[in-house]
Amino acid sequence: MLKKITVVGGGNVGATCSQLLALKELAQEVILVDVVEGVPQGKGLDQWESAPIEGFDSRVKGANDYESSAGSEIFIVTAGIARKPGMSRDDLLKTNAGIIRSVSSEIKRVAPKSIIIMVTNPLDVMAQVALETTGFPRERVIGMAGVLDTARYRSFIALELNVSIEDIQSLVLGGHGDTMVPLASYTSVSGIPLAQLMKQDRIDALVDRARKGGGEIVALLKTGSAYYAPAAAAVQMAEAIAKNKRRILPCAAWLQGEYGMKDLFLGVPVLLGEKGMERIVEVELSASEKAALAASAQAVRTTVAELKALG
């Protein structure tokens, strides 16, 4: 158990993260930070009052500043405006970049040795903003992307085949958005290749649904975006770090030559341990998968260029 984990942003994703962190007892203290007075304090108190029922001892506290977060080992950053119907992740760009610069500066000030798990969209670009603002080594700034995307892909496969989610293994690479790259060739059900259980047209349909998974939920909710699965994904990453589980999970990492790419965040298999990203795992890709990954990388670079053009 760590001493302290901070969640930045007290909205639906952030509040769900803090509750899950406490339920799993990943830290002695879970700090929920938000700029709106009373919101993190109220949600933190409400969550702590569930402790006698749920049986956890992690103390959940809310705050409007970062003084309570001093010395936190991990920050899960969810702060920012949410997607609305018809809004692309790139529409969030300018506003959220300003928020993340401010948040990152505060993190560097109060916890210069911490690890950042970025959740705010557009995720790959916001992770780069955090990396550049803090000056942290790449091992300590990681984006939550592939864990969520892979979970969505696996959940759709389980529904299609009517089998347990526990038996489905898969991998989704690339940017967190419509250009993500679900790898059907690395997808299996209890070790059985997916292609032996499902026709190609159905695999293609599920890949397409996974790519549009976030938008599907936005369209259904009408006044918000997904938060249960994103929070669960971020907390799974935090758990791998807090417990030094050395799990290999698909995360947005700052590439420095891996997969033939450099100086961008992109979803790739990452070994997560107590130091954060301990290494990037390079897997063999088919020609079409390489092309799809390159297209996804270009989409991320385009968004980065757009942000720089905005100043």
Among the listed residues 5, 62, 72, 69, the one whose alpha carbon sits nearest the alpha carbon of residue 35: 62
Amino acid at 174: G
- Cα 88 from Cα 191, distance rounded (Å): 36
Tell me the CATH number of domain 2-143, given options 3.40.50.10490, 3.40.50.720, 3.30.499.10, 3.30.160.40.
3.40.50.720
Alpha helices in 135-271 (DSSP H): 146-161, 200-211, 213-221, 228-242
Task: Work out the pLDDT band at 254, boundaries 50, 70, 90.
Answer: very high
Q: Is a pLDDT exceeding 70 seen at residue 253?
A: yes
Per-residue pLDDT tens for 154-181? 999 999 999 999 999 999 999 988 889 9
Amino acid at 202: R
Q: What is the pLDDT of residue 195?
A: 95
**What amino acid positions are annotated as catalytic residues?**
176
Determine if the pTM surpasses 0.85: yes
- Rounded to 5 degrees, what are φ and ψ at 77? -100, 115
Q: Higher pLDDT residue, 261 or 85? A: 261
Domain ranges of the chain: 2-143, 146-310
Q: What is the pLDDT of residue 35?
A: 96
Instruction: Tell me the three state secondary structure of residue 119.
Output: coil
Per-residue pLDDT tens for 27-85? 999 999 999 999 999 999 999 999 999 999 999 999 999 999 999 999 999 999 866 66
Q: What is the pLDDT of residue 87?
A: 62
Per-residue pLDDT tens for 189-204? 999 999 999 999 999 9
Which CATH code for domain 146-310? 3.90.110.10
- Cα 154 from Cα 159, distance rounded (Å): 9
